[in-house]
Amino acid sequence: MFVLAGKMMAKVRKPKGVESTLDQMDLFGTPAPVAVNPPTPLRPRLPAEPAPADLDDAALLARLPDAPLSKALPLIAEVGRRRLGAAVPLLGLRLRRLAGYGLDGREPVAVLEALAAIGGPQATAIVAGLLGGVGLAGPVEVAALTAAVRLEVALDRKVLLRLLGTADAAARAAACRCVRQAEFPVIDALEKLRADPDRAVATGAVCALGRLGRPTVRADLAQLVTAAPTRETVAALASVMDHVGVDADSLVALRRAARHADLREVVLGALDGFDDAQATALAAKLRQQAVQADAA
């Protein structure tokens, strides 16, 4: 009977974890000491980097060349905000580096916006060279064309014709704003774009032809100025009037555009530029109405 009990006790297994606990304890005395790891010392906090707006010009320029993307974007925006001419070659260097991997993403757009804000011959040359090459597409192409408009870049005729025919509607509309010279292949391309299914492209083509003084768009511009006047449409209509003469419909459109306070000075400046009695009389009347409105 005792033998059987012993065999049964031998078959009983200890609960998991009990063995290790028992091994560390003295059942007939005090528990065995348990090793305790020393606490890990706290790492000292590194001081936070100053924001780009808090850096002086020299420090800002020093960080710009090698900054990673996450830190480069605010630096690029800051040099553009300050219009730091010394940053232009550094921005050009970043563009050349990016060109090896393909010009897309946020950084080339940010660089082009900064170049447009800074301006100057070197920035103009960088944007012109970029548009003269190949491989631009999407938001980067539109950003380059927008920069070209602000910098008044004189694009080569072949480059301009290629951009006017690009598949991207936003790029076509921006390319229309880059037209500055009345060359017949470009004029023909703009005349075709007047029928573009994209409204922004069609409007851009009409305004471009207006800036060139083409009489074919005078009626279209008068309608645009009447329906939804902007500085661009007013300037384009004024340019046509300057080339082909003042007419009643255009004067009516300008008078209505002058009702918008932000366009009044643009309209008055256009009217003052015409050697025409009707335009002079309208300008005087608009100024008198403005004085009366301010007095009221």
The DSSP line for 114-145 is: HHHHH-SHHHHHHHHHHHHSS---HHHHHHHH
Q: Report the pLDDT value the prediction gives residue 6, as an integer from 0 to 100.
A: 47
Nearest in space to 249 (alpha carbons), one of 274, 273, 216, 221? 221
Return per-residue pLDDT of the chain as tens, 296 residues: 444 444 444 444 554 544 554 454 454 455 556 566 666 666 666 567 788 888 899 999 999 998 888 889 999 999 999 999 999 999 999 988 887 667 778 999 999 999 999 999 999 999 999 888 867 788 888 899 999 999 988 888 898 999 999 999 999 999 999 998 888 899 999 999 999 999 999 999 999 999 999 999 999 999 999 999 999 999 999 999 999 999 999 999 999 999 999 999 999 999 999 999 999 999 999 999 888 877 76
d(CA 143, CA 251): 35
Residue (of 84, 18, 13) closest to 52 by Cα position? 84
CA distance 188 to 120: 31
Q: What is the three-class DSSP state of 73?
A: helix
pLDDT of residue 260: 92
In this structure, the number of other CB atoms found within 10 A of the CB of residue 289 comes to 14
Q: How far is residue 296's CA from residue 292's CA, in Å, rounded to a whole number?
A: 6
Residue 260 neighbours by CB under 8 Å, 6+ apart: 229
Question: Any idea what the Cα angle at residue 87 is, between residues 83 and 89, rounded to 5°?
Answer: 130
- Contact present, 136 and 111 (Cβ < 8 Å): no
pLDDT at res. 61? 94
The CA distance from 190 to 206, in Å, is 8
Q: Is 166 helix (H, G, I), strand (E, B) or coil?
A: coil
| Cα–Cα distance for residue pair 143/165, rounded to 1 Å | 17
Type of residue at 118: I
| Separation of alpha carbons 58 and 84, rounded Å | 10
State residue 4's pLDDT score.
43
